[in-house]
Structure 1
Amino acid sequence: MRIVAGDWRGRRLAALGKGDPAAHLRPTTDRVREALFNMLAGGRFGDPIIDAVVLDLFAGTGALGLEALSRGAASATFVETGRAGLRLLRDNIASLGCADRAQVLAVDATRLPAATEPATLVFLDPPYGKGLGEAALAAAQARGWIAPAALVVWEEATEQAAPPGFTRLDARRYGDSWITILRAE
């Protein structure tokens, strides 16, 4: 895995190894990340990356949030509980030298603490088929993590409907993954 574009383009991320099957550690592939960020940067959704405050739920290796930082996001909060994911995430933040713009919360994404600053760009990549995406999004909204008009990028095994408080803008399939784009109302 590598950073696809931006300041850290081509920089390798920590090797996944065997990952963490119990935590369903399944990083977004370089190809899907590139397609996703090209879609976001295409202008259809405004300019959601530059100066964004990013929330990366079920962060795993942090590839989505780190890609956003590389492309000009102001800061990122990574939420992860898996031991392997946390180790890889912290290694990636250290190797890219972005600890001043990155915060790691080792908490359950469905039980978030109160936000210190609402996110304008949210990445949501829960374990597939477990219903955790809806719960995490509701928790983030209830605890002040999602700014009005924030963009939410939800990766799941199936196309997702917009939960209350969100409007569905787009959905695209990439192999066995669906990317659903939502906007907070």
Structure 2
Amino acid sequence: MEKAASGDTALLSLGASHFVMGCDFLGHIYGKTQQLVRTFSGRQRYNVPGALDYVSKKVHTITNDAYITAAEVCAMLRQIASEYKGLPVHLVLDNAGYQKCAAVQEPAEKLDTSLEYIPPYSPNLNLIEHIRKFVKGELRSKYYSDFANFRKKIDSAICNTSGSNKTKTDKLIGKGVQLYHDIRAVDNNTFSCPEGINNAV
């Protein structure tokens, strides 16, 4: 992180978001009388693989409304390599099958991009998760008349992470990440941290 802040390297966090219109973004309020809320008929999904620049907070995206595969990840790698020519690139990403495969790792090696896979169950180490949470907050409790408006709102929120929304994103993404030392497995999906939590850069 310090090297990225000084301009010696490019540090990006890669992750895919799946925004579902008509499902994920309903609000709620308590009242004594029944309220009718306008909703969209059916469900449509907007996939947004994105790579967050740790320093500028710019998010590089490739979008579709079908599926995310290794092909989209490779397209993202090429986009990033073109943007950061002359700089070593470190890309933090999770262990999704379409990301941790030869179809992605081989092009990354040719593009001189280092893939830094985070451990399982460690979303705290992938900073783009904060952007996903921010965008979902911008979408929640609002009515969208059609899928085009829904996509437009998402694109606008993401495009402005390094512009009009940068103050908000700076608050979400600090200068360190939360690390859990001496984690011990309790069962398959539960872990304990007896020695507490540490912040590290």
TM-score bin (small chain): 0.3 to 0.5
Choose between structure 1 and 2 for higher RCO, CA contacts under 8 A separated by at least 6 residues.
2
TM-score where L is the length of structure 2: 0.30
Q: Greater share of helix residues, 1 or 2?
A: 2
Q: For the pair shown, which has the larger CA radius of gyration, 1 or 2? A: 2
